[in-house]
Structure 1
Amino acid sequence: MLRNVLPKCVYITNTARGSYHATRLAVHPKVGACWRPLFSSRPVAAPTHLIVVGTSAGGMPALLQLVAQLPATLPAAVLVVQHLAPDADSEGLVVRLAAHTALRCQVAGHGAPLLAGHLYLAPPDRHLLVKQDRVLVTKGPFENGYRPSADTLFRAAAVAFDSHVVGVVLTGMLHDGTAGLEFVKRCGGVAMVQDPAEAEFPSMPESALRNVAVDHVLPVAAMGAVLVGLVGPTHPGGPANPLDVPADLQLEAAIAERVVGSAEQVEQLGSLVPFTCPDCGGNLWEVNHGEVLRFRCHTGHAYTAASMLEGSQRKMEETLWVALRMMEERKNLLASLAARGDAAHGTARHTERLADLKGHVNRMREFLLDEYEGEAQDAAVD
């Protein structure tokens, strides 16, 4: 029974004397509580490159197929953002990934060292970042309505490793990862996208292709060999030289790392626009760098134009539902007063107002239902 639920192996890392060594432990084939070392004191190098992967709906099958192609000797670290519910079982996902790959898989932990041949999965409801040779995990503001966000990871990786980053966008709904691939390209890295024709949900790959000069458009089955070639010994890499990284991306990465920004910082990135942040109601600035139209507020929320439209639609509907609830409450109060039949309380006037309000309530409901139908049609098109 235990064999079906426990991972095949666990890797314990120690940092004695300043070097990294991994000990691989395997579950005993018959008794899950017994462990035996398979090898020990095996040096684990720092990565020369980072492979960052963003995916959403339909992502797990694509991820399993991708990581199965990557060898244990991969000189890169692999970092993955899979959009998950806040209460999702990330440990279970890591076990599934580990069963399909030679990479050492783990849920990313704050401050963990970046190691070659390791895969780091973003925890639910946390952003996954990179700072020099370390992994950072934060609960910063949403970007594009997501936490974790592919854009957040891709930007941090590009700032940390500049041209030695490969960004990969797989199946998913909406647009996360589009701006992230542009960040990677601006720092000299490589952009790779799953062929939308085979993606279960092609919206994320299609958005990237519309907005970014993507280097490779491939079926997942062909990605592994290309990735191994891109991070191989003929492409030496390592941490970035700050002089090679655009200053605006360094500032945005610093804002995400510190969790919250300031109006003074965001003013350096763009121009104030007459919109408000859908998440916090604060002022918004249009970012003046790059080809992908983006917006930021001073508390740290960030949006592409597409996710900004989604967010403003969501906020408008929330406001309209509150208005409908207040109108219903007033309608019920007027109905109660009219039912009392007390001329002193203006029964005729209450009845007249009640009739008008019923009409307003019906029109509001029709409008909200039309909005939902329009959203469903837009989703089908995406």
Structure 2
Amino acid sequence: MPTRDLIVVGASAGGVEALRTFVAGLPGDLDAAVAVVLHLPAGGTSALAGILNRAGPLPAVNASDGMALRRGRVHVAPPDHHLLVVDGAVHLSHGPTENGHRPAVDALFRSAASAHGARVIGIVLSGALDDGTAGMITIAARGGLTVVQDPDDALYAGMPTSVLRHVKADHVLPAAKMGALLEDCVGVAVDDQPAEDRSRDDPIPGNGHPGEDRSREDRPGRDRLGTADLARRETAISAADGGVHADEVIPLGRPSTFSCPDCSGALVELNAEPKRFRCQVGHAWTAEALLDAQGVALEKAVWTALRTLEEKANLARRMRGDAHARGADLLVRRFERTEEEAAHAADVLRRHLLSGTFTRPADEETAT
């Protein structure tokens, strides 16, 4: 029988420290391949592989396209590329971003679950928002093992907490104790049941579970598109370097009233829980990340409006001075009113910006 032999690890904010602690505790004879995604800025290079190589007993390398997944080695996603698992090897893709990230944790988790089923062990470490939750749902649905860093042990508890809200995790523990756990879990024989069978019995809300009180009209397609099928389709989207066509995304859900923060295209609400969206060229968003991105866009728009109002007030002031020099009293009063109105509106916007209305702590979503 197949055994657990692939460990996929995802982290974001606070992830470097968590990953160093994690790899330091791994056994030197670990009989499994490890694949790591840390959300990174798109530009430049990453020193993460070197950091992890020095931190633990296993060699850590930057993943390259086509590289075989070797047991006893840590494969690290490079910046600006999704790390996907395809036929036991690494595939690097410049596919659509997810929650603004490339590489993305969910893209790795979905591809691993689709390719290796119950052989996968998924691990979510420190990070903000809810990245990794959708991927862990897929791993759980395929019979894989789910491991989550104790939120109290994480610098940013958002990602671990989100997973625990939606998945009954097999293990919740500090990063330093995961190595000992994996030593016992790796190599255990598993029933690698086909994805179609598992998704049919999948209890995750929104996948047509018999006990779910939702009509086809209310949730179109949810009875016919299971977790495993959706994961395969989304993996294909993540692997598409040039983006995808709308007819590859539209069948995955229903039209929403929202637009994509990346490209302003229309978003499709996916047939999945928790609520997620994809635009018609493939950019993916969870509801929390979309809300966060809309807040950033709103703040940017308000700063633009503030700058415009201040320029308007300054221009009206100059025109008032010119009119006063010409003795045009009617124009003086007109430009004076315009200046006062623009200055007042600018003050209102400035107060909102300074009050922090459009910002929040990165791990605010951890509050219950």
Q: How does the TM-score come out when normalised to structure 2?
A: 0.83
Q: Does 1:198 align with 2:153?
A: yes
1:210 — aligned with what?
Answer: 165
Q: Does 1:319 align with 2:274?
A: no
1:303 — aligned with what?
Answer: 285
1:49 — aligned with what?
Answer: 5
2:251, 2:5 → 1: CA distance? 30
Q: Aligned in 2, Cα 1:268/1:358: closer, same or farther, shift over 3 Å?
A: same
Classify the secondary structure of the residue corresponding to 2:267: strand
Match of 1:100 among 52, 55, 71: 55
1:329, 1:94 → 2: CA distance? 48
Q: What's the offset of the Cα at 1:165?
A: 1.0
Structure 2 residue identity aligned to 1:180 = G
1:77 — aligned with what?
Answer: 33
Give the structure, 1 or 2, with the largest relative contact order (CA under 8 Å, sep 6 or more).
2
2:110, 2:350 → 1: CA distance? 42
Q: Does 1:110 align with 2:65?
A: yes
2:358, 2:253 → 1: CA distance? 35
364-373 vs 323-332, which deviates more? 364-373
Where does the alignment leave 5 or more consecutive residues of structure 1 unmatched? 1-46
Kindly report which structure 2 residues correspond to 1:141-290, keeping only aligned pairs within 5 A, or say none: 141-235=96-190, 246-259=228-241, 260-289=243-272
140-149 vs 372-381, which deviates more? 372-381
Note if contact 2:97-2:104 (Cα within 8 Å) is conserved in structure 1: yes
Q: Does 1:356 align with 2:341?
A: yes
2:136, 2:166 → 1: CA distance? 9
Q: What's the offset of the Cα at 1:243?
A: 5.2
Q: What's the offset of the Cα at 1:110?
A: 1.7
1:64 — aligned with what?
Answer: 20
Where does the alignment leave 5 or more consecutive residues of structure 2 unmatched? 200-227
1:366 — aligned with what?
Answer: 351
Q: What's the offset of the Cα at 1:233?
A: 4.9
Q: Aligned in 2, Cα 1:196/1:262: closer, same or farther, shift over 3 Å?
A: same
2:163, 2:99 → 1: CA distance? 14
Q: Aligned in 2, Cα 1:75/1:243: closer, same or farther, shift over 3 Å?
A: farther
Note if contact 1:273-1:285 (Cα within 8 Å) is conserved in structure 2: yes
Note if contact 1:337-1:345 (Cα within 8 Å) is conserved in structure 2: no
Q: What's the offset of the Cα at 1:353?
A: 1.1
Q: What's the offset of the Cα at 1:381?
A: 6.3
Structure 2 residue identity aligned to 1:354 = E
* Deviation string, structure 1 residues 69-95 (Cα, Å, up to 9, x no partner): 3334333210111223345652x3322
Note if contact 2:4-2:118 (Cα within 8 Å) is conserved in structure 1: no
1:253, 1:377 → 2: CA distance? 28
Task: Give RMSD over aligned pairs.
Answer: 2.6
1:228, 1:236 → 2: CA distance? 19
1:83, 1:211 → 2: CA distance? 21
Classify the secondary structure of the residue corresponding to 1:312: helix
1:78, 1:376 → 2: CA distance? 31
Q: Aligned in 2, Cα 1:89/1:270: closer, same or farther, shift over 3 Å?
A: same
Moved over 4 A (4+): 240-245
Classify the secondary structure of the residue corresponding to 2:55: coil
1:55, 1:374 → 2: CA distance? 22
Note if contact 1:144-1:307 (Cα within 8 Å) is conserved in structure 2: yes
Structure 2 residue identity aligned to 1:129 = L
Structure 2 residue identity aligned to 1:194 = Q
Structure 2 residue identity aligned to 1:348 = R
211-220 vs 352-361, which deviates more? 211-220
Flag the structure with higher strand content. Answer: 1
Q: Aligned in 2, Cα 1:345/1:336: closer, same or farther, shift over 3 Å?
A: farther
Q: What's the offset of the Cα at 1:263?
A: 1.7
Classify the secondary structure of the residue corresponding to 1:275: strand
Percent identity over paired residues: 40
2:160, 2:182 → 1: CA distance? 17
366-375 vs 208-217, which deviates more? 366-375
* Deviation string, structure 1 residues 237-292 (Cα, Å, up to 9, x no partner): 7xx96756722211110011013122211111101011111221110111113x31
2:188, 2:139 → 1: CA distance? 20
Q: How does the TM-score come out when normalised to structure 1?
A: 0.80
